[in-house]
Structure 1
Amino acid sequence: MKVFGLTGWSGSGKTALIVRLIPALTARGLRVSTVKHAHKGFDIDHPGKDSHNHRMAGATEVLVSSPRRWALMHELRDDEPELTLPDLMAKLSPVDLLLIEGFKREPHEKIEVWRAEVGKPLIAAEDPRIVAVASDGPVPDSPVPVLNLNDADAVAAFVVARCGLGG
């Protein structure tokens, strides 16, 4: 399974790019999965739902299944640490390409999503694991190639070539 990331400051457009990038990659016949890091807590179920009640009652894991999807929720209790990226990856089914959103300090190669209007410095200037920048405008002093943030097909072509996936 090839692994490639998208990183950047909050508000730069990482999620917007990834949701355009996935169809561009699957159109090439690739099976793609994603891992998204959330800095804050999140919930995929809600009060009043059976799965939520199971978790609130103290279940460590709750698996919800239907004819269309299944989801496994694992509650980190007490002082359990957040899982590392390799631990999370081990829980996934194999695919052609795993896209990682966030996890900017992990050692996989990444594209930095950068917009001048966010007002943050270019991470690529300090991180050799960033192999390109995707932006909607000029990127002053970029040490790596700059891709058009609005051209998902061009970004997909770069990722496919960089990961050696053909197509």
Structure 2
Amino acid sequence: MNVIGIVGWKNCGKTTLVSAVIRELSSRGLTVSSIKHAHHAVDVDQPGTDSYRHRDAGAREVILAGGQRIAIMQELRGDAEPTLDELLARLTPCDWVIVEGFKTHSHPKIEVHRQDCGRAPLFREDPSIIAVATDYAADYPGPKYGLDDVAGIADFIVSQTKP
């Protein structure tokens, strides 16, 4: 599996770009998975549902299965948050994994940075950033793309494919 990250500060457009890149790569016939890091308590299950009741009763892992999709919910119950490498190992093999977040991990990343972001670009301190998507003429020395150049960014990502 090939892995590329999309990182940046909050509200700079990461999710918008990730969604567009996934759509573009998928339209090219590539299989794409994603991992989204959340810095807050997140719960995809809702109180009152059967699966929520299973977890609330103490189940460490609950699989919710239907005709269109499955969801696997795992309760850490005090264990450490899994690392990116541990999460990647859980995925079904695919062509590309797009990772949103995990900005301190050393995987190759594209930074999303807007001029009005109010924070310094990450690329100045992070050597694992290999391209930048921005709305201004950033002083990044490597590949730069406009935020709406989804095809160009997808071309760049595909060019990073490992044999």
* TM range, smaller chain: over 0.9
Which residue type is aligned with residue 144 of structure 2? V
With normalisation by structure 2, the TM-score equals 0.96
- CA contact under 8 A between 1:5 and 1:99: conserved in structure 2? yes
In the TM superposition, what whole-angstrom CA distance separates every residue of 1:93-122 from its partner, at most 9, and x where no partner exists?
000001111101111111000001111101
Q: Does 1:49 align with 2:49?
A: yes
- Which structure 1 residue ranges, 5 or more long, are not aligned? none
Take 1:38 and 1:111, find their aligned partners in 2: how far apart are those partners? 18
- CA contact under 8 A between 1:124 and 1:144: conserved in structure 2? no
Match of 1:129 in 2: 128
Take 2:118 and 2:148, find their aligned partners in 1: how far apart are those partners? 19
Match of 1:151 in 2: 149
Identity of aligned residues (%): 45
- CA contact under 8 A between 1:76 and 1:82: conserved in structure 2? yes
With normalisation by structure 1, the TM-score equals 0.94
Residue 127 (structure 1) shift? 1.0
Q: Does 1:18 align with 2:15?
A: no
Moved over 3 A (4+): none
Residue 26 (structure 1) shift? 1.0
Match of 1:86 in 2: 85
- Which structure 2 residue ranges, 5 or more long, are not aligned? none
Residue 164 (structure 1) shift? 4.9
- CA contact under 8 A between 1:6 and 1:102: conserved in structure 2? yes
Match of 1:36 in 2: 36
- Matched length: 163
